[in-house]
Amino acid sequence: MRWKGIPLIALFLLSVIAAGCINGSENSGLKEATLVVFHAGSLSIPFQQLEKEFSDYAEKNLGYKVTFQDEASGSVAAVRKVTDLGKKADVVGVADYTLIPQLMIPNYTDFYVIFATNEIVIAFTDKSKYADEMKAHPEKWYEILARDDVSFGFSDPNQDPCGYRSVMVMKLADYYYDKPVFETLVEKNTNIYFNGSMVVAPKDIQIKNDRVVIRPKETDLTALVESGSLDYFFIYKSVAEQHNLSYITLPNEINLKDFNKADFYGKVSIYIGSTGKVIKAKPIVYGVTVPKDAPNRELAMEFLKYLLGENGRRVFQENHQDFIWPPVAFGNVPEEIKDEVKVEG
């Protein structure tokens, strides 16, 4: 009886080996590539979803097994990885599109696309001091933040647009409320100051007490608020929504959301010590580009097409962030994405 089983076992083993060979040939038919993406911290959640979807799309339609190497940081830091540190990226996505023409064109890229918007809110949890009062009287936000037993945070203006935007929001509040909001919240707690014509964020930002917390990017503060070790922080509305945080919205005159308020926003500028550049307050607009020396430029363009098309629009809407439709491209716009964008300039 035993010898009769041998052919069956052999047949089974041969079938397993054959199946392995077939699968192996299928896998070997896929080219493998890693796309390196430097992006703003506030893009982390929508980009993770987009990248997962694109990986499936690339495997089915492009013959590529794509993995992503993401580096989330403040947008200034993301750009400077390319311009100052010589790192190579396939895609750079920033929360302030002006960083691309200001710091990357013409040496590192020759085009960019604006694709999403946002607004600054103040986020907190039920553990935050005076949370009920903040919810009931959001117009008192600057009075609540000024209290001695309240802590609040924002990201580093030298590294992150959310940081310099938060500071500009507090300066715009001076003009809107006709009260010394900036002096009370910023100058008394840090070495960031107003010099009579613009806000100055020194290269080395110092904190004068434990009431204010500053971190490299705005999403670094999320865990501190969630744990109750920080009461409030200035953050993008989309991030507050993605993390199910309570938040108050600010008047359109100061939240950097309203394109009709651009002239009012323009009353405030900030000098960024890390770059030596002056940035004028303006409505929040995100930008993306593919650097000239992108290691996988062709595949990066495919990802960009995916981001800028209906799939990107859907993913951003699912993640509570407004998408510009159609996205608008500037510069030497690559042919690969022209069908997905409106070309300007």
Would the pLDDT of 300 be above 60?
yes
Q: Using an 8 Å Cβ cutoff, are 131 and 247 in contact?
A: no
pLDDT (tens digit per residue) in 243-257: 999 999 999 999 999
Length of the chain: 345
Residue 4 banded pLDDT, cuts 50, 70, 90? very low
Q: Using an 8 Å Cβ cutoff, are 185 and 179 in contact?
A: no
Would the pLDDT of 343 be above 60?
yes
* pLDDT at site 218: 84
Question: Which residues of 101-155 form beta strands (DSSP E)?
Answer: 111-117, 120-124, 152-155
Neighbour-count burial of 207, counting CB atoms closer than 10 A to its CB (0-12 exposed, 13-18 middle, 19+ buried) = middle
| Residue 191 or residue 9, greater confidence | 191
Which range among 1-15, 120-134, 231-245 shows the weakest confidence by mean pLDDT?
1-15
3-state class of 122 per DSSP? strand
Backbone conformation region of residue 130, classed left if phi is above 0, alpha if psi is from -120 to 50, else beta: left
pTM metric for this prediction: 0.89
Would the pLDDT of 66 be above 70?
yes
Task: Give one DSSP letter per residue of 256-272, joined into a string.
Answer: S--GGGHHHHTT-EEEE
Please give the share of the chain, as a percent, with pLDDT higher than 70: 92
Q: Using an 8 Å Cβ cutoff, are 208 and 148 in contact?
A: no
